[in-house]
A and B are shown apart, each in its own frame.
Chain A
Amino acid sequence: MEHTSQFCTFYLDKLLFGVELKGVQEVIRSLEMTRVPLAPEVVSGLINLRGQIVTAVNLRLRLELEPAPPGADAMNVVVRSEDGAVSLLVDEIGDVVEVEESSFETPPETLHGSVRSMILGIHKLDDRLMHVLDIEKACRMTEVAETAAGR
């Protein structure tokens, strides 16, 4: 890793999250979505990104946060995962920040559960903490099969 790296930041339930900028394909306003019945709950639906069909993941649910208030328009952070583009639905987009490696710390031991595996660590910014999201882990939903959707 280099000395500094750039992160695309966004907010979820007032928390600041960041993904590495080079993993981000684009950021777009909310698009019309087609729901996928029987899919895991965290899959919000499919969106048409200029001819490319992209799965939208409800990041709030994925990270076990409170569901968004009804009527809130989510933003799409389209990231490149191993399995193609995936759109992460977030509340609001923040700035692109440049952070030094020295400000990084692994997540505290008190953070546990499945969320911990998705958070690589914390960057201590001047005024707040930025959660560094593991894109692959967040996009991978192997553990949630059809049956898990609950009959």
Chain B
Amino acid sequence: MSDDEIVKDFLVESYENLDRLDRDLVGLEKNPRDREALAGVFRTIHTIKGTCGFLGFAKLEKVAHVGENLLTRLRDRQLVLNPEITTALLGMVDAVRQMLQEIESTGKDGEIDYPDLRETLTRLQQLPEGPGRDGTMPAAASGTQTGVPASMGEILMQRAGVTPMQIQIAVQEQEKGDPRRLGEILVDQGAAGAGDVVDALRVQQSQGVQSAVDSTVRVNVGLLDKVMTLVGELVLARNQVLQFAGRMKDASFLAVSQRLNLITTELQEGVMKTRMQPIGNIWGQFPRTVRDVALGCGKQVNIVMEGKETELDKTIIEAIKDPLTHLVRNSVDHGIELPEQRVKAGKDRAGRLVLRAFHEGGQVNIEISDDGGGLNVERIRHKALERGLISAEQAKRMTEHEIFNLIFLPGFSTAEKITNVSGRGVGMDVVKTNVERIGGSVDVQSTAGQGTTVRVKIPLTLAIIPALVVTCGGDRYAIPQVSLLELVRIEGEKVSKGIELVHGAPVYRLRGRLLPLVYLNRELRVSADANSALTSDGAVNIVVLQADERQFGLVVDQIHDTEEIVVKPLRKQLKTIKTFAGSSIMGDGKVALILDVLGLAQRASVVTKSRERTLTDKVTDAAAAAGEKRTFLLFSGPGDSRMAIPLSTLARLEEFPVAQVEMSGNQWVTQYRGQILPLIRLSVAMEERRARLLALQAPPAADAGPIQVLVLNHEGRSFGLVVEQILDIVDDRADVKSAATRPSVLYTVVIGDRVTELLDITAVLASADSSVARATPMGRAAGAAN
């Protein structure tokens, strides 16, 4: 082993130990009498000190040395751990960690030798009163004597011929209050030689070390990944053999392939397990994080962890580490109140932060709950409105739960938020993005005054997943089983009856509810005839999928079996295609693409992203919107109804103060860009004829607020449409349609998940024309407006 390798090993081992140190120290602060933990801390620092002495990292050794001295006092119960000592020791851990990083990058332990820290540590080890027993201990005894498997007495009995009687006497001495160690008493009594005790200590130490070394082996992750890939290959080969065996009628071959099948499955599970790590591995650092954050903002927080042993794939563990840390910090920082506030609210001074992990339905749930003040609905609503993330209309109709989840919107939180404690703050959108990237989801629940729970759901593994294989346009595609709800096959006559159209958008009645249908061949543009699946005489296969709590039916050519597939990520060149989650090699060695159900749903506009985006984003996107998706302007019309027009018909949005509105006959007009712009009041135009004639006479009330006007170009004419309120601009396919319920409405559609009336501009104009003289064409204004 070269020096480099030794250093590398030293680094890896030390990092691991340091993480445990953080944990142990915080644990010790709560329970300073835990000798085992103390011994563990001591051992770690001792090892680091010893190794860097050997490797020549003098500065690191110095720091570790003073730390060790302090720890010796603690271990020998000459001192009791208090917050000051804990802070100093944690400081030492940080210093050591920093130096290790320095070593990792430069090979040297850096320039800083932390004089302040060393001084603090030295000062703290001064005994409060009386002379210490320093120096009275034999050198060998400064090794570990606590928390080790075999007892000192046992070893001495076996090796040095000490009788059980002698040991019992020594133990009794100790029980009477003799501060000496068992070994020392025995030596003093002449029952054992000093050499025997030193030997025994050595045995004890080696046993302690061995037990850990024997049960685990450190394996390079790269090697593990390679084994994983190979097992993936084996799974594929197995699939091939099984297909082959199905065709062969040879009984013994069938038996062999069955065995191969079983062994492969077991091997696969075994290898998967090697990559599994308990979530406790990343939770381990949280007590320290919580302690630091809580100290920093003057709070008291107890952290409780449930389900530490819940296992997750290594890659996932790594991916969720940062988001979880973020959530934990947030809970302490923003969730839990200050002690005084808590007392006032009748709670314990110390807040309670509960981390809970458990398996459920092939997924892992992680909950981070605090018993703090909860999220403030009004404040979030206000903030979201202020930042233009939602419209006033949206704000009104959103449920409490929807409001809470606004905190995950990009742009919701800003740095400034940290100080004005309202909702959870910084970068929650990053948390959401990171969790979603690995196929997970985040949700937040909160009860005012009682606390907040953030629930993160993530898949167990990303490497091998069960998937349904389908064909479309001659190619196979895999659909992850997680999103699969059921399979429906419509045959013969039922095809024409079963699939109905809602203004061109196909739907299927699934147990009385309309299921929007998406044709895979159309979405992937692999079939020239877009309607082939509709008109064909054969059966229609529908895969019912779930994406983002919305259901839709995916029409495919054929449905095959479910298979365990090995997920291989797509290369960068193809990553931009959101419709695919990855690729996999099928049993016959051919490559198949894995559909990204959410991406597909978004593409087919089953799931709109609209609500998740800011208004400005939507406008920019609207310009780039392509294909069947159309951009609509949403506004509220008469009777507070939600209405829409295609954005393409719109020239401008204007707001006029009523004072600028003039009367020209019965017509409201305004001077607009050097022209006279007729204003059609939507509320009037949509009235019944008689009421309209009456309403037409009325000039605008002088005290009314400014009017909202959509300036439209229609068939060469420009006019302003006065609406109640302009709401939003959204991209949508407006698929689900039904007949209009009143005149001047083309039909009713669902836009952005809400029933919306699509305005019939021609009809509105006609009805306006029927009561007033035809307005003069305004070509120039129209041109200018564009």
Contacts and interface: CB of A to CB of B under 8 A. Distances in A.
A65 B233 CA distance: 37
Which has the most chain A C-beta neighbours within 10 Å: B229, B568, B574?
Answer: B574
Contact of A51 (B233, B473, B525, B627): B233
Contacts, number: 70
Contact of B571 (A32, A40, A86, A151): A86
B195 interface: no
Interface in A49-63: 51, 53, 55
A36 B593 CA distance: 8
Contacts of A97: none
A48 to B, nearest CB: 5
A83 B576 contact: no
A15 interface: no
Interface stretch (A66-74, A102-110, A115-123, A141-149): A141-149
Given A48-B585, A48-B590, A37 B574 contact: no
Contact of B583 (A43, A53, A139): A53
A37 B232 contact: no
A84 interface: yes
Nearest to B624: A147
B592 interface: yes
Interface string B211-247: 0000000000000000001001100100000000000
Contact of B573 (A38, A43, A45, A53): A43
A37 B574 CA distance: 10
A118 B516 CA distance: 46
A5 interface: no
A146 B596 CA distance: 15
B573 A34 contact: no
Given A51-B585, A53-B583, A53-B585, A38 B524 contact: yes
Contacts of B6: none
Interface residues of B, number: 29
B236 A34 contact: no
Contacts of B229: 51
Contacts of A43: 573-574
B356 interface: no
A83 B573 contact: yes
A38 B627 contact: no
Given A36-B577, A37-B526, A38-B525, A48 B591 contact: yes
Given A34-B591, A47-B591, A141 B583 contact: no
A51 B573 contact: no
A141 B573 contact: yes
Contacts of A32: 589-590
B572 interface: yes
Contacts of B574: 36, 39, 43, 55
A33 B27 CA distance: 58
Interface string B571-609: 111101111100101000111110000000000000000
A29 interface: no
Which has the most chain A C-beta neighbours within 10 Å: B233, B236, B580, B585?
Answer: B585
A74 to B, nearest CB: 17
A49 to B, nearest CB: 10
Contacts of A48: 585, 589-591
Given A34-B591, A37-B526, A48-B591, A151 B576 contact: no
A22 interface: no
Which has the most chain A C-beta neighbours within 10 Å: B525, B576, B578, B627?
Answer: B576
Interface of B: 229, 232-233, 236, 473, 475, 524-526, 568, 571-574, 576-580, 583, 585, 589-593, 624, 626-627
For the complex of A and B, the 4 pairs showing the least CB-CB separation, nearest first, are A37-B524, A151-B627, A34-B591, A46-B591
Given A34-B593, A37-B579, 12 more contacts: A35-B475, A35-B526, A36-B577, A37-B475, A37-B526, A38-B525, A46-B591, A48-B585, A51-B585, A55-B574, A147-B624, A151-B525
